A and B are shown apart, each in its own frame.
Chain A
Amino acid sequence: MQANVVNAEGRAVIRLQGRFDFNAHREFRGAVDEAMKGDVREVVVDLAGVDYLDSSALGMLLMLRDKTRSVNKAVTLTGSHGAVKQVLDIANFNKLFAIG
């Protein structure tokens, strides 16, 4: 998986590409650290480029949620589709995240 972060106007977008699973942990963590730097009010995880996502990815998203909550930042998931959207739905992530 590839992750890149664009930081603009208090909004950090983490754009993920490829397979979001266990092996993506270090990239994702790095991206989260990057995104949380400075004066950011909102973190957006763009899943448009993600083909697959498994339960470890769900765990990582939950970690992100914990981190953002403890410093009063909002987090939004965008661009989920197909199998990725299905997994998020099954996991009831719409109750935990703003999904855009």
Chain B
Amino acid sequence: MNTLLAEDAPDGCLHIRRELERYRALEEEERRIARHLIDRLIDLDKLRDPSLRHWLLSAAAFSGDLLAAARTPGGMLHVLLADGTGHGLSASINALPVAPPFYRMTEKGFGIDAIARELNVKTKQFLPVDRFVAATLAAVDFREGIVQVWNGGNPKPFFLDAAGNAERVFGRTHMALGILDDDEFDDAVETHAFGTGAQLILYSDGLLKAESLEDGMFGHDRLAATLAGASAEHRLDAVISAVTGHLGGQPARDDISVVLVDCVRGRQVAAERASAPATATATTTTSASGSWRLLLRLGTREVRTLDVVPMLLGLTGQFEGLGANAGQLFVVLSELYNNALDHGLLRLDSRLKLDPSGMEAWLDEREQRMAAINGEIEFDLEQFQEGARSWLRITCRDSGPGFDPAAVLSPGGQTEGGELPESLPFGRGVALLRSLCASLQYNEAGNAAIALMALGVEPHSAVK
């Protein structure tokens, strides 16, 4: 620094040097902050999962390829390989919005279909229209020996047999994230049941496009030959040396990332650590009971005359494994139904209740509007296994015009952490729902609420 300020330098030169110096310092500072942010958002510890090996070669200081891995509460492994448009810092930033929802939703036991959908929404929301993110999501259920893949815009992942030959190519390619609207988005996943097991490979197009001056691009054939020519143990190293050899000292033009997952059935290394003993017990009682789904549509007449919540509770009570959650389920169903009816269809305003005689006024108003009600409410209850845990997803949709979730979700100064407003006569419903469910979401229109409940465990241990 001092040398640049040498007193004998000519004035103009000194000025330029100072400008350059300033610019460089600024850039370094920006890089430092970007690096910090990126490192915080990517959980490298989780990428060190014993079942997973990865390689990431950046074309520039920052990688536009992003790798993330995490375990669901049930011990399933979720892997995300994302490739933001371009490379370098801007590509890196493009890929970032996908990381937090990936971790958050995996932690809560969502399937990769739901995660893909959410990542698409987030990417579209955050990125400029000309930017998008190719992404592959994989879920490995070691216990059941099942791999699921959703691939949007990356090269086709495949499953290798023990000899390293492609046993199954996941050929269904969706649109990359951040392009389609939610209603056009296709979250269909491909499923592959593996026998004794071998490896799953995911990679970005940078791998195929790695270019040598003499031999062109690395390409599929070289990749296939390399994979088949090495033992499972050394397969990733073989790919790394083949690609770097192919590049022959030339820098890669695009970021390269590869993930190999050892899919060995029954392998539960990290899973045992991930699931608490209490949840493990709950699992065994429900895992044998399979899964079910219940759809119920109530028309105007039904909404007006039926006592819906007890009816639903009676029905769901017939299914094995829900007994322990009956109380919790009652509250969740009641709150969802009351909100759909009172606010969705009847358009009642909770502020009515603020008046001294407010509850009376509310009731009268409700009765009047009920007589003229026109609309329907739909319940969709789906019970499913996510690894070691049983979940219930409840969607409650009304035919009303919807509400603005942001405006209603913070009534009476309700805080982020889900604390309840203690003195207002309303606003507790949504907070209750949040406390009892692993997650609560609304669709964009605000006329459908989606609640996810962990079954067989105390709600607080499921949330935290």
Residues of A within 8 A of B (CB): 19, 21-23, 25-26, 29, 51-56, 58-60, 62-63, 82-84, 86-87, 90-92, 95-96
Contacts and interface: CB of A to CB of B under 8 A. Distances in A.
What DSSP secondary structure best describes chain A's contact surface? Answer: helix
B370 to A, nearest CB: 12
B335 A55 contact: yes
Contact of B327 (A83, A91, A95): A83
B331 A83 contact: yes
A14 B398 CA distance: 36
A56 to B, nearest CB: 7
24 contacts: A21-B309, A25-B363, A29-B359, A51-B327, A51-B330, A52-B330, A52-B334, A53-B331, A54-B338, A55-B426, A55-B429, A55-B432, A59-B353, A59-B425, A59-B426, A62-B425, A84-B327, A87-B331, A87-B432, A91-B420, A91-B428, A91-B431, A92-B419, A95-B422
A44 to B, nearest CB: 21
B330 A83 contact: yes
Contacts of B309: 21
B331 A56 contact: no
Report which residue of A29, A58, A59, A63 has the largest number of chain B beta carbons within 10 angstroms of its beta carbon: A59
Nearest to B342: A22
B359 A90 contact: no
Interface string B406-443: 00000000000001101101101101100110000000
Contacts of B399: none
Nearest to A95: B422
B326 interface: yes
A42 B373 CA distance: 42
Nearest to A85: B327
Interface in B244-301: none
Nearest to B427: A55
Contacts of A62: 423, 425
B425 A91 contact: no
Contacts of A86: 327-328, 459
B314 to A, nearest CB: 12
B310 interface: yes
Contacts of A82: 327
A21 B309 CA distance: 11
Contact of A63 (B331, B363, B425): B425
A83 B328 contact: yes
Nearest to A84: B327
Contacts of B432: 54-55, 87, 90-91
Interface in B185-240: none
B310 A92 contact: no
Contacts of B307: 23
A51 B314 CA distance: 14
A59 B213 CA distance: 75
Contact of B422 (A53, A55, A92): A92
